Amino acid sequence: MDYYSYIKSLHLIFVVTWFAGLFYEPRLFIYHIEASKKSSPAKEILEKQLKTMSRRLWYIITWPSAILATIFAIWLLVLMPEWLYQSWMLIKIGFILLLFAYHLKTHQMFLELQRGEIRYSSNFMRIWNEGATLFLFAIVFLAIVKSAIHWIFMVLGISGLFVFLMFAIKLFKRLREKSTEDDN
């Protein structure tokens, strides 16, 4: 029986659900931060609901997915130890370590918001939310292309994507502010 394919499939499923959590959790942070600026009773109702949604997403989907994706990744490396001697895998592992740092920082932000501490603006969270996108691009391209030469172009491409995302966020912010002004 080909266990490798099943393990790889499970690894990919949990990577997808992990990233789903990493994409949506900062979005909930944005809503939470914006809800904190509303007046009562909307503020309290929204904050309570967003805390519940955030807690469920983080502890029921995101953390378990991160752990299971990691377990299945290690299992794949046990089955294919020669990958550890290939430059693409070492670079990919580096990005995964950075992804875990991103995950842990997001966890810290989650805990602060659960305590009602708001230390970041919604605009900062919009930028933070794009971090997972950059990691996803880097990790997927390394896993598929598997070439040390191409990773340089990938880094340049991801840098270009980052610049594009920052431009899009600023443009969206201006359009939102203009729309708010037009409504008033």
- Check: CB of residue 68 under 8 Å from CB of residue 10: yes
Segments of the chain with pLDDT less than 50? none
Q: How far apart are CA 139 and CA 150, in angstroms?
A: 13
pTM above 0.85, yes or no: no
Per-residue model confidence (pLDDT) at position 184: 62
DSSP conformation class of 57: I
Q: How far is CA 74 from the centre of its chain?
A: 21
Per-residue model confidence (pLDDT) at position 31: 96
Per-residue model confidence (pLDDT) at position 2: 81
Per-residue model confidence (pLDDT) at position 134: 85
- Check: CB of residue 24 under 8 Å from CB of residue 109: no
Per-residue model confidence (pLDDT) at position 11: 97
Per-residue model confidence (pLDDT) at position 149: 55
